[in-house]
C-alpha cells in the first residue's frame, strides 16, 4: 500500500483541475496533474490497484483511468516498470524525444526538452526506427566525447508500413527498405494473397517491431512494380515519407457536392473587381493559378497594387472532411511530373484556380505604395474577380523586352504590365535598402522524352517576371502580418531566426582568412550579410563565400510569435498568398475574414486558441520539411537513373561540400551532385580541415576547398542508395600534387 496518507476529501476538493475535467468529460476522472502530484508525493512507483484505491476511482471509471495512464505513458509523463507499477519518468532520469537515424546505422535521440542530442549506437538503433518517439537515458560518453544514450521504451512507432525491394532466396523472404535511414531488413510473414517477384518494389505492413535481437516482420500489402518503372521514384518517396496521397471517402463525398461554377448568391455583398484587368502570371506547366495581380499609377509618386488570392476559405469550412484532410497534409507536395495536392482537383484546379474569363471568389489585398517601394496604406476585402489573361513568366518577360509582339488583347494589357514592372523597380529598391539576402542559387528542371525517361537536366532560368510576382506576393504577405499585429489577433507567422552566435563567429573567422574586407558584428543584420555577398559577387571564390553564409543561417518555421524574418529583413512576416497549397495560408485567410465579419456585424472577434495554433505551427513546419525531403529523394533517384549510362564520362565540377571521406561536387553541365572519395584525389595522404572547409595533402600541400573547380570522371552510380561517385581526373603523368593547385 502507498505510504502517503491522503486527506479525506471528495474528488472536487482534492483535484484542482476537477472543474476543467468536468467541462471536458461527462464523467470526469482524476486529472493528469493530480496523478503526477500523487506520484511525486508518494516517492516511488505505484500499481494500478493502489491508484484506484487511493484516488477513490469508481469501478465504472477504472477503464478511463487505464486509458489516461496509457496516454501519460505515451507522452513520456509516466513509465510503467517491469512489475507493472507507474512512476514519474523524470524521477527515473528518463529523456523523451524522437529518433533521428543515419544511413550508416547509428542515430541520435533528439530531446523534447531541447537538451543536447544523445548518440545512439548501431546496437541501440536495432531497437527503433527513424522518427520513433522514445524514452531513453544517458549511459555515458562515446570515444568522441558525445553523450551516449540507450533506448528504454518506445512510446510511439513512427512507421506502420515500409516500402522496399522484395527478395526471395531459397526459403528466405525479406524486404530491404528503400529509405536509407532504415538499416534493418524486414522478414516477410504469412503466405498472403499477393505474390511479388524477386526484385519488385512492394509495400510491407509492419506486424512485429524490432527488439534488438530479432528482425522486424510484416506482410506484403501492395506490389508497386518493377524497380526501374517510370514514376517509381515518386511512388517510393510518397510511401517512404508517409505522405497522405489517397482521399478519404468523406473528402470525396464533400468534393462531389461542389458545383463547377461560383453560385450567384456567393458573389453577393463582395467587393466587385471584375472590371479590373487582373492577370495571372505563372510557369508554363502550372495547372493551378491562385494569385492574380494588377497595378496602376497614383499620380506621379506612387502606385496602387491589387493582389487577388483564391478564396479557399469560402469552400473549405473548419471541421469539414476537406479541412481535416488539408490540415493533415499541411501542404501540396511537388514532384517532377506529379503533384500530391493539399486539396482535391475540383478546388485546386477548378473553383479555387483563377482561370481566365470566369468569375472567381478571392481575398483581395489592396495596397498604396510610394515610389520608394514602401506600403503606405492597405486593406483586405472579400471580392469577386475575373482574370483577363493567363500569362506565363516567359511571355511577360518577352512582352516587356519587346521580344514578343503585343497583339489583340495583349496590346491593351501591355501598359498595365509596364506599370507593374515600374512598381517592381520601386519594390526592388526597398528590398535592397532593407538588406534582404539574395543568393546566386541555380535550380534545375528535368526534361522527359515520350517514353517518360529523362532526356536532359537543364537550369531553371528566373527572369524579370518571376521577380515581379515575387515582390508583389512579399508585399501582400507583409501586409497580412501587419494586419494581425495591429489587431492583436493570434496567428501563425513565418519566422526565420537570427543566426546562431557560434556559427557567426565561425563565419567571421573564415571570411577573415579569405581576406574579405567586410566587418561582421557579433549580431549581424541581414543587410550585413547581403553586403558581403554583393561585395564578393565578382570574386573567384564567390560560390564558396555564399555557401558558407547560407550554412550559417537558421531554418525558417511557423510559430505564433511575431518574430523577425531574418533573411527577408522583415520585423514580421506570414504566408497569405497560397491557400490552395499551404494550410497556414488558409488559416491566415480565415483570420482576416473573421476580423472583417466581426467589424461588419459589430460583434467581438472570435480568436483561435493559442495552444492549437502552436500545435498547427509545429505540424505545418514538419509537413513542409517532409515534403522537401520527399521531393529531394525523388529528384536524386531521377538524377541517378539519368547518369546510369554515363559512367566513364568526364565533367567540370564545383566542390559543394567537404568531409573527412571526400568531396561533394556539382557538375556544371548536368546539374547533378555526387561524391569524390578521398582515395581518388591523388598519390598523397589527404587530411580533412573542418575549420577551413577543406582537404589538404600531407606531402604536396595541395588544397581542395569549397567553391573550387575540379575535373572529375563518373565511376559508379548506385540507384538503391541514391549515390553517384566520381574520381578526380589527373593530367597525363600526374600523380596528384601541388603543381596545378594552390598549396595550404
Query: Rounded to two decimals, what is the model's pTM?
Result: 0.82
pLDDT of 742: 53
pLDDT of 405: 86
Helices H, strands E: what count in the chain? Answer: 19, 33
Q: Is 483 exposed, middle or buried (0-12, 13-18, 19+ CB in 10 A)?
A: buried
pLDDT of 3: 46
Q: Round to whole Å and give the CA distance between 551 and 565.
A: 17
Q: Round to whole Å and give the CA distance between 220 and 214.
A: 19
Q: Is 8 exposed, middle or buried (0-12, 13-18, 19+ CB in 10 A)?
A: exposed
Q: Round to whole Å and give the CA distance between 631 and 230.
A: 16
Task: State the cell numbers at 288.
Answer: 493551378
Secondary structure class of 473 (helix, strand, coil)? helix
Per-10-residue mean pLDDT of the chain, 744 residues long, equals 45 69 76 82 80 82 85 77 74 81 90 86 91 85 81 87 92 90 88 82 92 87 89 91 94 92 92 96 88 93 95 95 97 92 93 94 97 96 96 94 87 94 95 88 79 80 93 97 95 93 86 80 89 85 82 91 89 95 97 96 94 93 94 90 92 88 87 91 87 86 86 92 90 53 52
pLDDT of 22: 72
Q: Round to whole Å and give the CA distance between 96 and 107.
A: 15
Q: Which is nearest to 283 in space by CA: 410, 421, 409, 393?
A: 393
The three-state (H, E, C) secondary structure of 660-710, written as one string: CCEEEEEECCCCCEEEEEHHHCCCCCEEEEHHHCEEEECCCCEEEECCCEE
pLDDT of 736: 52
Task: State the cell numbers at 239.
Answer: 510511401
Secondary structure class of 214 (helix, strand, coil)? coil
Task: State the cell numbers at 490.
Answer: 493570434
Please compute, for residue 690, the number of CA atoms within 13 A of its CA located in the half-sphere on the CB side. 3
pLDDT of 50: 82
Amino acid at each position: 500500500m502507498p505510504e502517503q496518507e491522503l486527506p479525506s476529501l471528495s474528488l472536487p476538493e482534492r483535484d484542482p483541475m476537477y472543474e476543467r475535467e468536468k467541462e471536458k468529460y461527462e464523467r470526469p476522472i482524476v486529472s493528469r496533474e493530480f496523478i503526477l502530484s500523487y506520484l511525486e508525493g508518494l516517492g516511488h512507483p505505484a500499481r494500478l490497484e493502489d491508484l484506484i484505491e487511493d484516488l477513490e476511482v469508481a469501478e465504472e471509471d477504472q477503464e478511463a483511468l487505464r486509458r489516461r495512464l496509457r496516454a501519460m505513458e505515451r507522452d513520456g509523463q509516466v513509465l510503467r516498470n517491469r512489475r507493472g507499477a507507474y512512476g514519474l519518468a523524470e524521477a527515473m532520469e528518463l529523456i523523451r524525444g524522437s529518433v533521428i537515424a543515419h544511413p550508416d546505422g547509428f542515430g541520435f535521440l533528439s530531446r523534447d526538452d531541447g537538451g543536447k542530442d544523445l548518440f545512439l549506437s548501431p546496437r541501440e538503433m536495432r531497437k527503433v526506427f527513424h522518427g520513433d518517439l522514445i524514452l531513453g537515458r544517458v549511459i555515458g560518453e562515446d570515444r568522441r566525447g558525445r553523450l551516449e544514450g540507450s533506448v528504454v521504451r518506445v512510446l510511439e512507432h513512427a512507421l506502420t508500413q515500409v516500402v522496399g525491394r522484395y527478395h526471395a532466396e531459397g526459403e528466405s523472404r525479406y524486404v530491404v527498405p528503400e529509405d536509407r535511414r532504415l538499416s534493418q531488413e524486414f522478414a516477410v510473414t504469412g503466405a498472403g494473397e499477393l505474390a511479388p517477384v524477386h526484385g519488385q518494389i512492394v509495400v510491407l505492413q509492419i506486424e512485429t517491431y524490432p527488439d534488438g535481437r530479432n528482425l522486424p516482420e510484416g506482410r506484403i500489402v501492395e506490389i508497386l512494380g518493377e524497380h526501374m518503372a517510370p514514376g517509381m521514384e515518386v511512388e517510393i518517396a510518397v510511401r517512404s515519407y508517409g505522405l497522405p496521397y489517397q482521399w478519404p471517402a468523406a473528402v470525396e463525398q464533400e468534393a462531389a457536392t461542389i458545383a463547377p461554377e461560383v453560385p450567384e448568391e456567393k458573389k453577393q455583398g463582395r467587393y466587385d473587381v471584375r472590371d479590373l484587368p487582373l492577370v495571372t502570371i505563372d510557369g508554363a506547366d502550372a495547372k493551378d493559378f491562385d494569385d492574380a495581380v494588377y497595378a496602376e499609377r497614383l499620380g506621379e509618386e506612387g502606385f496602387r497594387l491589387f493582389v487577388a488570392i483564391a478564396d479557399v476559405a469560402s469552400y473549405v469550412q473548419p471541421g469539414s472532411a476537406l479541412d481535416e484532410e488539408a490540415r493533415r497534409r499541411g501542404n501540396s507536395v511537388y514532384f517532377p511530373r506529379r503533384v500530391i495536392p493539399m486539396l482535391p482537383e475540383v478546388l485546386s484546379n477548378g473553383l479555387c484556380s483563377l482561370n481566365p474569363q470566369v468569375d472567381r471568389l478571392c481575398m483581395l489585398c489592396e495596397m498604396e505604395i510610394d515610389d520608394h517601394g514602401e506600403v503606405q496604406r492597405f486593406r483586405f476585402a472579400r471580392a469577386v474577380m475575373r482574370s483577363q489573361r493567363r500569362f506565363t513568366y516567359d511571355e511577360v518577360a518577352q512582352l516587356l523586352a519587346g521580344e514578343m509582339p503585343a497583339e489583340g488583347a495583349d496590346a491593351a494589357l501591355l501598359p498595365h504590365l509596364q506599370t507593374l514592372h515600374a512598381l517592381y523597380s520601386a519594390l526592388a529598391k526597398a528590398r535592397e535598402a532593407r538588406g534582404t539576402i539574395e543568393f546566386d542559387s541555380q535550380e534545375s528542371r528535368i526534361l522527359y522524352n515520350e517514353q517518360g525517361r529523362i532526356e536532359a537536366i537543364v537550369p531553371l532560368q528566373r527572369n524579370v517576371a518571376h521577380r515581379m510576382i515575387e515582390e508583389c506576393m512579399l508585399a501582400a504577405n507583409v501586409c497580412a502580418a501587419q494586419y494581425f499585429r495591429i489587431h492583436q489577433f493570434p496567428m501563425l507567422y513565418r519566422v526565420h531566426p537570427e543566426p546562431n552566435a557560434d556559427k557567426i563567429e565561425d563565419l567571421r573567422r573564415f571570411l577573415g582568412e579569405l581576406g574579405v574586407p567586410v566587418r561582421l558584428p557579433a549580431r549581424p543584420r541581414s543587410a550585413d550579410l547581403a553586403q558581403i555577398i554583393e561585395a564578393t559577387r565578382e570574386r573567384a571564390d564567390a560560390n564558396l563565400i555564399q555557401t558558407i553564409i547560407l550554412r550559417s543561417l537558421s531554418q525558417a518555421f511557423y510559430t505564433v510569435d511575431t518574430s523577425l524574418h531574418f533573411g527577408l529583413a522583415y520585423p514580421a512576416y506570414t504566408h497569405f498568398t497560397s491557400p490552395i497549397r499551404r494550410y497556414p495560408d488558409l488559416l491566415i485567410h480565415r483570420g482576416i475574414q473573421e476580423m472583417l465579419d466581426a467589424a461588419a456585424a459589430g460583434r467581438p472577434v472570435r480568436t483561435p486558441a493559442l495552444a492549437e495554433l502552436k500545435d498547427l505551427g509545429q505540424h505545418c513546419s514538419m509537413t513542409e520539411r517532409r515534403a522537401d525531403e520527399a521531393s529531394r529523394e525523388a529528384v536524386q533517384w531521377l538524377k541517378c537513373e539519368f547518369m546510369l549510362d554515363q559512367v566513364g564520362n568526364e565533367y567540370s565540377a564545383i566542390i559543394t561540400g567537404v568531409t573527412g571521406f571526400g568531396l561533394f561536387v556539382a557538375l556544371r553541365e548536368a546539374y547533378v551532385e555526387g561524391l569524390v572519395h578521398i582515395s581518388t584525389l591523388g598519390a598523397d595522404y589527404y587530411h580533412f580541415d573542418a575549420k577551413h572547409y577543406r582537404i589538404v595533402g600531407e606531402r604536396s600541400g595541395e588544397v581542395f576547398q569549397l567553391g573550387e573547380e575540379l575535373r572529375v570522371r563518373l565511376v559508379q552510380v548506385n540507384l538503391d542508395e541514391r549515390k553517384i561517385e566520381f574520381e578526380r581526373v589527373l593530367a597525363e603523368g600526374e600523380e596528384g600534387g601541388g603543381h596545378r593547385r594552390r598549396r595550404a
